[in-house]
Structure 1
Amino acid sequence: MWSPRRRGISLAGQFLVLQVTVLLAVLAVSSVVSVRQADADFHDTRGARLRAAAENLAGTGGVRTGLAEPAPPQSLASYAARTLTIYGASAVYLARPDGTIVASVDPTANGESIDLGDSTVQDLRAWTGDVDDRGERSIAAQVPVIGDRGQLIGIAMVAESYPTLGARARGVLPDLVTFLGFGLALGVAGSWLLARLIKRRTRGLEPEEISALADQREAVLHAIREGVVAVAPDGTVTVMSDSARELLGLDVDGAGRRVSDLGLEPRVADALAAGDDVRDEVLVVGGRVLVLNRNRVRDAGRVVGTVTTLRDRTDLLAMQSELSARESVTETLRAQTHEFNNQLHTISGLIQLGEYDELSAWIGAVTRRRAEITEAVTSRVDDPAVAALLIAKVSLAAERGIGIELAEDTCLPRLDPDLAADVGTVLGNLVDNAVDATVAAGGATVSVRLRDDGDDLVLVQVADSGAGVPPENAADLFRRGYSTKPSDASGRGVGLALVQVVCERRGGAVSVHNDRGAVFTARLPRTATDRTPAQPTDQPTNRGPVR
């Protein structure tokens, strides 16, 4: 695994800088809005006052009389000056209807024109708005001066210059700094706390490290051969590796979907969605033998999901089945060697004693007994591989003092090589298990039943005369690694698990019940299918000895 070096500002620092930048931007925008609001307030407040001043000036009798004369008298300027003083305006003008100034506080303005713009004063309506007062932006109120006959005889305009930007800023800055500064302090504190929270939630990792971890996870998921499936407590798949998708036979990635929606077999879906820990559970999926391990994932003592690994053990199963068969042959040869040694010792002793008639009779009896065993098996079992295995098991059991009996209705035809191998694996393991149970309980016989069930099924049934299977252990009996016998160097709990896997791989099943001992019944379809196997209920009947 690799770990990138940290460069520049940390994630928490970057977030803090971003938040502070945003708050400063908000402060700048708020300042602009506040200044514009101050302009609007100035316009509304001063506009109304200037309009009242202009109306008062236009309604003065002396002003009306002076503007009605062809040559306005100098006294009009005094009216303008008085209005300027009373209302605190910056400029007061009396003008002709065309806008030409005839009286003003500043005599140099006489003869110039006032800015009428979009004013409605020439339509005999008072107007308030922004004007260009001799090159300076001002707010002005223009009121018509009306003659005795209702005609427009002049215009009274009272104006006031807008304060400078600095003056306006100084007007709003104290409150703006107070409130926005307080907000900025709260924002910085909140940003700092949020940055610490993010750092704690990301466990102190920076973006480069988080990205590297994501890349590592993807690389690991694509590299490992075992399938990996992570499932949330609600049954949603959060992670599914390519190997898992292939082993489960899925065409699409299951991440983000519920296990129940993936179209898996019920047993497989239940195994993935369960919430307990499991070790080496065997599943058969699409003809593949998978070994499943499931572990719960905890965060702060709380279960946040499960991680399941899947390993393909199809090839291993075949090798294990072959090894089991070879081990059975080895044990049989060993038993036969021991038996032949004893027989040779007997022959040698009889020769030394000169008991030739007794020797002849004894050899005849041994030969007849061997022939009877072979005849009893081959007359009911036509498949040579299964028959040879059964004959060998008879010799092996006899060495331990156990007799193997064939049920009277045993009748097995010749099988396909693949099916014969599976029947041999099932039969060999069930017989070995039955012999062990019979010896442990002090029993004497093991019954075997082999027959073509007539429904494209081969039935293998083995009954021992042991103590039987406790009901509370029946569910665990076929679990890999489970055994009621002491463990040794070769391991325990493999035989019955192998029997179950072989049966399920062909679409069959194996079950157990008690009848004066444990009775194991296996059904193996002649052709492997994916259908749900039927539960066998056949009982062993008409036991006959293999003599």
Structure 2
Amino acid sequence: MRRILNASLGTQLFVLQLVVVFLSAGGTAGVWAEHTRDRLDLQHQQRALAIAESVAGLPQVREAFTHPRPELALQPIAAGVQAATGADYVVIANRDQIRYAHPNRALIGKRLSTDGSEVLSTGRTWTGIQTGTLGRSVRGKAPILDSSGTVIGLASVGVLEENVAGQLGAALPPLMWTVLAVFLAGSAGAALIAQRVRRQTFGLEPREIAALLEQREGVLHGVKEGVLALDLQGRVTLVNDAARELLGLSAHDVGRGIAEMPLSDRMRDVLTGDDPGDDKVVLHRARVLVLNRMPVAVRGRRSGWVVTLRDRTELVRLARELDQAGSTTDALRAQAHEFANRMHTVVGLLELGEYDTAVGYITQTTEAYGHHSAGIREKVADPTLAALLLAKSAEAAERGVSLVLTDDCRVEEDGLGDPHDAVLVVGNLVANALDALEGAGGTVEVSVRTEKDGLRIRVGDSGPGISPALADEVFREGFTTKAARSGPRGLGLALTRQACLRRGGWVRVHNAGGAVFTALLPRREDVRESVPALRGGADE
């Protein structure tokens, strides 16, 4: 037994199925044999009773009971019936159960060894199994009636059980051959099943399979990246903890189709493969996710897809901060360059002795810069937004673009509520306009004003504009018309739209001498971004 328990899974299955087949076949054979024996007993009982009734109904038998010595007439009759019918014995007795006929003549005149009072007292027939002088036998007893219907004796006919057993034994060989055939077929089937189990488990034992499952679960739920498995019908078959957190799914979503889940159209397109490619950038629940969809093949046949999700929100935030730092550095370098030129001019005037001219030049330059800064602060009282526009103005000048605030700009000092979304929207729209004029120069007009329904923003450029067919596509994450650079592309306008929609606003684009973006950002002081990594910064 210990050897079997320590054997391989295939061997244990083979032995177990052999035992099941053996018990099933043996049990079936036993039930069949018992049922056959019962039927043989019943048949012989009915046959014995029929013979007994025939003997009891013979006129010669009734007449013999009137003779002084009935046994002389009844013994030959009983012997003749026994020989004709093949019964093992035919016994005739009177009401006192004294034998008048018996196969053993020495017992004639003696009392019956088995009780026949039931037949004699009731006048009814009886069948059953009893043990008498000849052994255990199947019997049938019938009353012998005189002409008036009075019971005057009984006739008992029996077949020995050993003869019944002999008939059963004659029927057993076919049964045993059948059982043997079933056992051999079951053994072959057990061997095939054991072999198939070995093949399907790659020869691994249960403990090895359990260890692999534990390792898989540990690795799957321990990795930081999200893992999502799909079958060929697009149903989720596996999702780890990271993917549940990133996509907002639950354990109940396993088995559901992608179309049934609360995901954006962009996310569904990437997951289903309608938007193929590597490192697809998707904006989901204020997170920047990078998705890769790869086919899964088992034994050379495709069985589904596995999608990995990497959270690049923090990386995007750092890239945006770096981009802002770069923009600030460029602006400072431009100012430093301009300041150096002006200082050279002042030094030259002083060397020439043009003191009054130098003083006038310095005064004029200082007043011009102060006038520009004051003009921005006069229209935009909020310091955060004013600082953004001042930096963008310097960046525009460095890139050969004129950034102009329209006359209708009006932003109160505390008119933004939470300024982060405003900085995000304005910064991205201005950056997008500057990129549209890259290398060509031109003008960017900016209008920001606070109204009752929130902050209204309008940014237009003098560039080539946007095709009407792309008016909606430009706000989809991953869409870009710019040359590829390092870092995720096509997120700025998507983040802008998300910020506006989250606050209950909107953003649109149309052409009017160039692309004109308009946006409404309702004021909500209690609204704050759940993931601060997406705040601020320009378009990537």
Q: Residues 328 and 428 of structure 1 are in contact (CA less than 8 Å); yes or no, is this contact kept in structure 2?
A: no
Alignment equivalent of 2:77, drawn from 76, 79, 88:
79
Distance in structure 2 (CA, Å) of the matches to 1:416 and 1:112: 128
Q: Tell whether the 8 Å contact from 2:459 to 2:516 is kept in structure 1 after alignment.
A: yes
Match of 1:187 in 2: 186
Letter of the structure 1 residue corresponding to residue 516 of structure 2? V
Residue of structure 2 in register with 1:23 after alignment: 21
1:526 is the counterpart of 2:510: no
Counterpart of 1:27, as a letter, is A
Tell me what 2:368 maps to: 369
Alignment of 1:98-497 (within 5 A): 98-110=96-108, 111-116=110-115, 120=119, 122-134=121-133, 136-163=135-162, 167=166, 170-232=169-231, 236-247=235-246, 253-256=252-255, 264=262, 270=268, 274-276=272-274, 277=276, 279-285=279-285, 288-291=286-289, 293=291, 295=293, 297-299=295-297, 305-311=304-310, 318-356=317-355, 358-415=357-414, 419-440=418-439, 442-455=440-453, 457-470=454-467, 477-478=474-475, 483-488=480-485, 492-493=489-490, 495-496=492-493
Specify the code of the residue in structure 1 equivalent to 2:452.
G
Preserved CA contact (<8 Å) 2:71 2:100: no
Q: Verify the 8 A CA contact 2:266 2:282 in the aligned structure 1.
A: no
Per-residue CA deviation, residues 374-410 of structure 1 (Å, 9 max, x unaligned), is 2321221111222122122222222222111112222
> 2 CA distance for matches of 1:481 and 1:254?
27
- The DSSP-based 3-state class of the residue aligned with 1:163 is helix
Aligned-CA RMSD value: 3.9
Could you tell me how far 1:260 is from its partner in structure 2?
6.6
1:127 Cα deviation after fit: 3.5
Q: 2:87 aligns with which of 86, 89, 94?
A: 89
Q: CA deviation at 1:336?
A: 0.9
Q: Which shifted more, 463-472 or 197-206? A: 197-206
For 2:459, give the aligned amino acid: V
Alpha carbons of structure 1 residues 359 and 7: separation in structure 2 relative to 1, 3 Å:
farther
> Alpha carbons of 1:118 and 1:329: their partners in 2 closer, same or farther (altered >3 Å)?
farther
3-state DSSP of counterpart to 1:459: strand
- Corresponding residue for residue 33 of structure 1: 31
SS at match of 2:379: coil
Query: Is contact 1:294–1:306 with CA below 8 Å preserved after alignment?
Result: no
**Map of 2:532 onto structure 1:** none
Query: What are the Cα deviations for residues 411-435 of structure 1, in whole angstroms up to 9, with x where unaligned?
Result: 1222478833443343334323322
**Structure 2 unaligned residues grouped into runs of 5+:** 530-540
Q: 1:272 to 1:282 in 2, by over 3 A?
A: closer
Tell me the distance in 2 between the aligned counterparts of 1:7 and 1:469: 75
CA distance in 2 between partners of 1:179 and 1:86 (Å): 36
Match of 1:514 among 502, 511, 515: 511
With over 3 angstroms needed to count, the CA separation of the structure-2 counterparts of 1:396 and 1:179, relative to structure 1, is same
For 1:174, what is the secondary structure of its paired residue?
helix
- Alignment check: 8 A CA contact 1:245 1:253 kept: no
Offset of 1:231 from its aligned partner?
Answer: 4.8
Q: Matches of 1:346 and 1:56 in 2, distance apart?
A: 152
Structure 1: gaps spanning 5 or more residues:
1-5, 532-547
1:104 is displaced (CA, Å) by 0.9
Q: Comparing 215-224 with 264-273, which one deviates more in the overlay?
A: 264-273
TM-score, structure 1 normalization: 0.80
Partner of 1:545: none
The one-letter code of the counterpart of 1:80 is A
CA 51–215 in structure 1, closer or farther in 2 if over 3 Å, else same? same
Match for 2:291: what amino acid? N
Q: Give 3-state SS (helix, strand or coil) of 1:145's partner.
A: strand
Indicate the SS of the match to 2:429.
helix
Number of equivalences: 521
Aligned-residue sequence identity (percent) comes to 36
Instruction: For 2:346 and 2:116, locate their aligned partners in 1 and report how far apart those are by CA, in whole Å.
Output: 144
| 2:482 alignment partner, SS class | coil
What letter is aligned with 1:520? F
Structure 1 residue 480 displacement after superposition: 5.6
Write the distance in 1 (CA, Å) between the matches of 2:5 and 2:267.
45
Counterpart Cα distance in 1 of 2:198 and 2:59: 80
Does the 8 Å contact 1:259/1:272 carry over to 2?
A: no
The residue type paired with residue 485 of structure 1 is K
Does the residue aligned with 2:78 lie in a helix, a strand or coil? Answer: helix
Between the aligned partners of 1:68 and 1:402, the Cα distance in structure 2 is 149
Task: Decide which moves more: 494-503 or 331-340.
Answer: 494-503
Q: What is the identity, as a one-letter code, of the residue corresponding to 1:448?
A: V
Does the 8 A contact of 2:288 with 2:316 survive in 1? Answer: no
Amino acid at match of 2:522: P
Provide, for residues 103-125 of structure 1, a one-character-per-residue CA deviation record: whole Å limited to 9, x for no partner: 31113444242535796464334
Would the alpha carbon gap of residues 134 and 521 (structure 1) be closer, same or farther in structure 2, given more than 3 Å must change? farther
**Deviation at 1:350?**
3.4
Alpha-carbon distance in 1 for matches of 2:342, 2:200: 80
Assess if the C-alpha contact under 8 Å between 1:284 and 1:504 holds in 2. no
Whole-Å separation in 2 of the counterparts to 1:70 and 1:434: 143
Shift of the 169–56 alpha-carbon distance from structure 1 to 2, 3 Å rule, reads closer
- Over 3 Å counting, the alpha-carbon distance change for 1:273 and 1:398 in structure 2 is closer
Residue 541 of structure 1 aligns with which residue?
Answer: none
Per-residue Cα deviation, 1:322-378 (whole angstroms, up to 9, x for no partner) = 444333322221221121122222323333444445544443443333233223212
Change in CA separation of 1:258 and 1:84 when aligned onto 2, cut-off 3 Å: same
**Partners in 1 of 2:5 and 2:158 — Cα distance?**
62
SS in 2 for 1:520: strand
Q: Is the 8 A contact 1:38 1:168 kept in 2?
A: no
1:303-339 Cα distance to aligned partner (Å, 9 max, x none): 6555455555555555455444333322221221121
Alignment-mate amino acid for residue 514 of structure 1: N
Shift of 1:444: 1.5
Aligned in 2, Cα 1:463/1:233: closer, same or farther, shift over 3 Å? farther
Shift of the 490–211 alpha-carbon distance from structure 1 to 2, 3 Å rule, reads closer
Alpha-carbon distance in 1 for matches of 2:81, 2:144: 15
Q: State the secondary structure of the residue aligned to 2:112.
A: coil
Instruction: Tell me the distance in 2 between the aligned counterparts of 1:117 and 1:462.
Output: 122
Using the TM superposition, give the Cα deviation of residue 160 of structure 1 relative to its aligned residue in structure 2, in angstroms: 0.7
| TM-score under structure 2 length normalisation | 0.81
- Verify the 8 A CA contact 1:138 1:161 in the aligned structure 2: yes
SS at match of 1:423: helix
Task: Answer with 145-154 or 165-174: which moved more.
Answer: 165-174
Are the aligned partners of 1:144 and 1:152 in contact in 2 as well (CA < 8 Å)? yes
What is the identity, as a one-letter code, of the residue corresponding to 2:180? G
Q: Distance in 1 between matches of 2:197 and 2:34?
A: 38
Distance 1:513 1:180, change over 3 A: farther
Partner residue in 1 for 2:535: none
1:281 alignment partner AA: V
Change (3 A) 1:255 1:54: same
What CA distance in whole angstroms lies between the structure 1 residues aligned with 2:146 and 2:503?
A: 118
